[in-house]
Structure 1
């Protein structure tokens, strides 16, 4: 440890003094850390030819945590200095009390870097970004005269973190993020429909704002809108469903992923609690949470407790083999942390969270899955969804879907919702495509009031017996 380790992040807190105060906070505790964060972010939105939003935010602060058993004391401040840290120590120690815990061993280090230190916020000037958004607006309107409204947005951020562990280890990570999104509204014969597309990741903004990229995004947003312009009312009833690859993995994330987070299972509130080693899904179903994919939106070199990210198998050939763990829940369950301890910011305590969650491919061509669909729907795009962790019941709305009869894809449908529960849906998977894809980098996940970026993915899937909510 050197006195210079904090210098890139703060000039008002000596590292040796911080370590001494951290050790005071965790004396008699099982675990704890000092998490220091500095973040800058920018968001620009052009809506219908006008700048609707232009925001820039810069923040910094620290969070101090002391953990003993199931309790955790957490204090945070936006001022990074010794005085604020001393006050935080007194608060965090309230969870420790007078007991004598045994301090857990710190996480192992890593030399792996999953993304560059590029600063997307500084890669283009403000006028250049506004000019780009105006170019996108004009390009979209030239694509089709039925476009009556265009919304385009750019987002970029840089998060710098340093994590000080009681054993003296210092872990640092610099996390870039960039994103572009384009939405259009089309009108024909008095009917209006919308379509949107976007994406990004932990990489340079330059690639996203290159014309060959954003023009493809614009064309895809228009394609989706025009599909919906001719869509018929969705049918209702219990039927088989084929899900497309990539972003439809959000159903997997919500209906299954949250139920495999360690805290819900330790407390027995998950639909999958107590099922370790049991067959919970159809044969051939293998689900991973993988935070080690370079440049992906959900990837993290280290989690927010300092544990290196990992490629964790959750379900192997239908058998439940693992949960996603932070340090506290892993220790209480007698297993190893999996690199899933994440937090929204310095003002939030870490908890088990997903990174990039996806299902591995099978061997069936996706066209064969659709050909085997006698009477159902083919859903390739999803919007919002809800899930009840305790029973796994979910409701998802489709943004692009088609009616299928006797293996023939028919008219697009609108207003379709998929209703079911994760545990049953896993067992009713009847076919797995060979076309695994990850989402384009648009996922955000909410849990207990905290939001973190995530990724999802899957191959095409046939699921039997889902309830489809519609209006026909």
Structure 2
């Protein structure tokens, strides 16, 4: 395990891939040759491994390498973009000319001298995979398979998988930005099916982050994830039908923060607000939630799935306060939105790969601790729902309306958590729902490291979290 320096990150592209600073300057000059306010080059090299086991048999195994460069030119609100998987000078200059012609405009900027930002080192970087490491990864998966089957005889099917990647990036821009990073990412997943007669239930669990394989030996083991998936499935076998109607809802700590991510976080991304398609557009400085609610997006938490030393525009990430004591304080912005809206860039420019353009995205989004004891929050509810874990969900950014399905939930009766329920959905409006937050626990937890966020056809890794939270009323969809 090594902690490379910023110079090490850059040397990979210069020494290994043969991309010199002089070539980068030529490409930026070519990108701005037809006019434009700004241009950047995003070099990327990714090595990845994926292994899947189904019914104790290896059903998939792959390793891959991807290398390329995306070239972007901004002219006002126009974006010219081209990419190439060939890093020869001829292909890079051709891509730069293509992007220039798409975004041609009257302004013409000069390329400034490169300056490297000072960035933290938030995560360790492992070396390239070896055959022995592949064997070790497979053994982790088989351990999960065995542990899930041993949990209960009613577990009838087990699928498990391991995925990791090592992503190297270098960003060179006409404003002088010259930043690089090496980003590890790993994720472990377990899915099970349980049967009891004609009754069938499913359970899943997983985790990871910007970590090395040692994490799954020393912090969260395959047995941990296997038992959690099996526990959820067995629990659902005995669950009763969820109630329906308006009632108090208590959200558990950790992964239920995905509701906050979807119902509120996307609406606070600057591009939606610049275009006035977000329910939060024009509301900075106004009360948008209960005074007990403070929401942050934090890209500098060590080893977290959504963390980055620099974003995909070369801007150092940071902690951004979005909602403070119920007051909307700001949006998540990339360089384009920052310039057009006259606001700072928050280090939130992200992209799926060199083949995609940058847009404002979340990193690790969560609600801060309150002062209430979690047990007091439960005791305060006469009859309601306690939602511990969530599956899928949908949200309409324009009005904030959302629908989420709870994969693990319980009744609250007379201040006590009682029977598990199945088929529960939470229906509401993000900005409105936050106004009904009446109690916030002191037990903030982040998710296990499984979040992947989709936007405009692009997927990026993210983190979510929250403490135990009580909403005085929310519409619950159920079958009872």
Answer with 360-369 or 2-11: which moved more: 2-11
The residue aligned with 1:14 is 20
Counterparts of 2:384 and 2:111, CA distance in 1:
53
User: Quick one: structure 1 residues 120 and 192, their matched pair in 2 at CA, closer, same or farther if it must change by over 3 Å?
Assistant: farther
2:225 to 217, 232, 238: 217
Counterparts of 2:164 and 2:144, CA distance in 1:
18
Q: CA deviation at 1:74?
A: 0.4
Q: CA deviation at 1:151?
A: 1.2
Deviations 1:124-156 (A, max 9, x none): 533333333223222322222121111111111
**Contact 2:148–2:229 (8 Å) recurs in 1:** no
1:129 to 119, 133, 137: 137
1:394 to 388, 395, 402: 402
2:311 to 281, 303, 309: 303
1:82 to 85, 89, 92: 89
The residue aligned with 1:438 is 446
User: Quick one: structure 1 residues 101 and 373, their matched pair in 2 at CA, closer, same or farther if it must change by over 3 Å?
Assistant: farther
Counterparts of 1:75 and 1:364, CA distance in 2:
52
Counterparts of 1:215 and 1:98, CA distance in 2:
58
User: Quick one: structure 1 residues 19 and 278, their matched pair in 2 at CA, closer, same or farther if it must change by over 3 Å?
Assistant: same
The residue aligned with 2:208 is 200
Answer with 430-439 or 43-52: which moved more: 43-52
The alignment partner of 1:100 has SS state of coil
- Say whether residues 1:30 and 2:34 are aligned partners: no
The residue aligned with 1:91 is 98
1:230 to 229, 238, 246: 238
User: Quick one: structure 1 residues 378 and 98, their matched pair in 2 at CA, closer, same or farther if it must change by over 3 Å?
Assistant: closer
The residue aligned with 2:287 is 279
User: Quick one: structure 1 residues 120 and 416, their matched pair in 2 at CA, closer, same or farther if it must change by over 3 Å?
Assistant: farther
Deviations 1:56-95 (A, max 9, x none): 2211100001101111100001111111112112211124
Counterparts of 2:241 and 2:87, CA distance in 1:
56
Answer with 42-51 or 243-252: which moved more: 42-51
Answer with 407-416 or 307-316: which moved more: 407-416
Q: Count how many residue pairs are aligned between Structure 1 and Structure 2.
A: 471
Counterparts of 2:185 and 2:464, CA distance in 1:
17
Matches within 5 A, 1:107-126: 109-119=117-127, 121-122=129-130, 124-126=132-134
Counterparts of 1:111 and 1:338, CA distance in 2:
14
Answer with 112-121 or 263-272: which moved more: 112-121
Counterparts of 1:194 and 1:250, CA distance in 2:
20
User: Quick one: structure 1 residues 340 and 458, their matched pair in 2 at CA, closer, same or farther if it must change by over 3 Å?
Assistant: same
Counterparts of 1:276 and 1:169, CA distance in 2:
29
The alignment partner of 1:6 has SS state of helix
**Contact 1:241–1:376 (8 Å) recurs in 2:** yes
**Contact 1:301–1:309 (8 Å) recurs in 2:** yes
**Contact 2:351–2:359 (8 Å) recurs in 1:** yes
- Say whether residues 1:468 and 2:476 are aligned partners: yes
Matches within 5 A, 1:407-426: 407-426=415-434
Matches within 5 A, 1:327-338: 327-338=335-346
**Gap regions ≥5 residues in structure 2:** 1-5
Counterparts of 1:420 and 1:19, CA distance in 2:
50
User: Quick one: structure 1 residues 212 and 83, their matched pair in 2 at CA, closer, same or farther if it must change by over 3 Å?
Assistant: closer
The alignment partner of 1:335 has SS state of coil
- Say whether residues 1:67 and 2:74 are aligned partners: yes
- TM-score normalised by the chain length of structure 1: 0.95
Deviations 1:317-346 (A, max 9, x none): 000001000000011010110000000000
**Gap regions ≥5 residues in structure 1:** none
The alignment partner of 2:139 has SS state of helix
The alignment partner of 1:7 has SS state of helix
Counterparts of 2:127 and 2:323, CA distance in 1:
37
Counterparts of 1:191 and 1:211, CA distance in 2:
34
User: Quick one: structure 1 residues 264 and 408, their matched pair in 2 at CA, closer, same or farther if it must change by over 3 Å?
Assistant: same
What is the alpha-carbon root mean square deviation over aligned residues?
2.1
Counterparts of 1:120 and 1:418, CA distance in 2:
44
**Contact 2:125–2:212 (8 Å) recurs in 1:** no
Counterparts of 2:421 and 2:103, CA distance in 1:
57
Matches within 5 A, 1:171-210: 171-209=179-217
Deviations 1:5-34 (A, max 9, x none): 7324512x4330221221221253222210
User: Quick one: structure 1 residues 124 and 322, their matched pair in 2 at CA, closer, same or farther if it must change by over 3 Å?
Assistant: farther
The alignment partner of 1:349 has SS state of coil
Q: CA deviation at 1:288?
A: 0.3
- Say whether residues 1:373 and 2:381 are aligned partners: yes
Counterparts of 1:211 and 1:5, CA distance in 2:
31
Counterparts of 1:138 and 1:97, CA distance in 2:
59
The alignment partner of 1:251 has SS state of helix
The alignment partner of 1:328 has SS state of helix
Counterparts of 1:284 and 1:32, CA distance in 2:
42
**Contact 2:299–2:318 (8 Å) recurs in 1:** yes
